[in-house]
Amino acid sequence: MSENETTSTEQPVRAHEPAAVRDSAAARASAGEPADAGEPADAGEPAGGPHAERHIRSFTPRRGRITDAQRKALERLWPRWGVAVDEGTRLDLPALFDTLAPDAPTVLEIGFGMGEATLRMAADDPGTGILAVDVHTPGLGNVLRLMEVRGLDNIRVAEGDAIILLRHMLAPASLAGLRLYFPDPWPKQRHHKRRIVQPEFLDLAAVPLAPGAVVHFATDWEPYAAHMLRTLEAHPAYENTQPDGGYAPRPDARPLTRFEGKGLDKEHRVHDLLFRRR
């Protein structure tokens, strides 16, 4: 069996609670408050668990301070819109995005922070499903909360390592796109090996990306942009959408976020890379 095959049945996978929900239950239990019915009172391992086989890492673990509104959104809305990262399960994307057309395209977004751009892109393109993965628990709660407030139903949030999604959980040619905006640039030379955009990462992504799927990366760190461009152009599975090569203008579909605005105020130059799966 190859690394892209699985013995499990395809299913939407919404059962597991995110670590933030388990952690909040533990905190209430230690303070003498009862846990919600059916909610474990011990803080378990983050979604996805230990993965000794993984060499690429898509994130730096971080919790951050979660507000009461974000925590409540996680507890209440996770069964509806949350996705468990589980290397033993293959996602059925049409079933996961059951409110969209069966042939609706799905885009994977890796690392969405507080979800500002994700929410705006979902609102602008309601016919596309966005599978958004991150480990920042306040961001997970924020996206769920604002999905409900804004009446959005085309985002599913996953807590855990995007590498597990790519390696085990997504069927070949099941994605119409991949988005990676402002990943950690790891600026020090000795840390460059920790950057997510590496040939091995592009190998993994090539399997679930359908032919013609759009790969969109963006960074405000110029040396990382140059690294991304070299790595993508050297990979046989991808072609640059720019006829003359190089970087792309920022597409209107990618919103200008507060994070990006702060970088521009500091005279950071943002580079967009738009490639296509051959």
The answer to whether residues 272 and 218 touch, using CB atoms and an 8 Å cutoff, is yes
Is residue 184 part of the annotated active site? The answer reads: yes
The DSSP-derived string for the chain is --TT--SSPPB----SPPHHHHHHHHHHHHTTPPPPTT--SS--PPTT---TT--S--------PPPHHHHHHHHHHHHHHEEE--TT--B-HHHHTTTS-TT--EEEEE--TT-HHHHHHHHH-TTSEEEEEE--HHHHHHHHHHHHHHT--SEEEEES-HHHIIIIIS-TT-EEEEEEES-----SGGGGGG-S-SHHHHHHHHTTEEEEEEEEEEES-HHHHHHHHHHHHH-TTEEESSTT-S-BPPPTTS---HHHHHHHHTTPPPEEEEEEE-
What's at 51, amino acid-wise?
A: H
Residues 184, 203, 244, 272: which is the catalytic one? 184
| CA–CA distance, 257 with 189 (Å, rounded to integer) | 28
Q: How far apart are CA 227 and CA 233, in angstroms?
A: 10
Q: Report how far residue 177's alpha carbon sits from residue 214's, in angstroms, rounded to the nearest whole number.
A: 5
Question: Catalytic residue positions?
Answer: 184
